[in-house]
Amino acid sequence: MDTEKKIGVGDIFRKYGPAYREIFKGKLSIEHLKVMNAIEVCRTPQLGSYVYKCDTCGKKHFVYESCGNRHCPQCQSLKAEQWVFEKKKDLLPIQYFHVVFTIPCELNALAIRNRKVMYDILFNSTACTLQEVSVDPKYL
| Burial status of residue 70 (CB atoms within 10 A of its CB: 0-12, 13-18, 19 or more) | exposed
Count of C-beta atoms within a 10 Å radius of residue 97? 5
Per-residue pLDDT reduced to its tens digit, 104-134? 999 999 999 999 999 999 999 999 999 999 8
Q: If you average pLDDT over residues 81-101, what whole number do you get?
A: 88
Cβ contact 10:4 at 8 Å: no
Assess contact for 117 and 109: CB atoms under 8 A.
no
Work out the burial of residue 119: count CB atoms within 10 Å of its CB; fewer than 13 is exposed, 13-18 middle, 19 or more buried: exposed
The residue count of the chain comes to 140
The pLDDT assigned to 82 comes to: 86
Contacts of 38 (CB under 8 A, 6+ apart): 67, 68, 69, 71, 72
- Mean of the per-residue pLDDT values of the chain: 90
Distance CA 76, CA 74 (A): 6
Residue 1 clears pLDDT 70, i.e. is over it: no
- Residue-by-residue DSSP string for 66-78: P---TT-HHHHHH
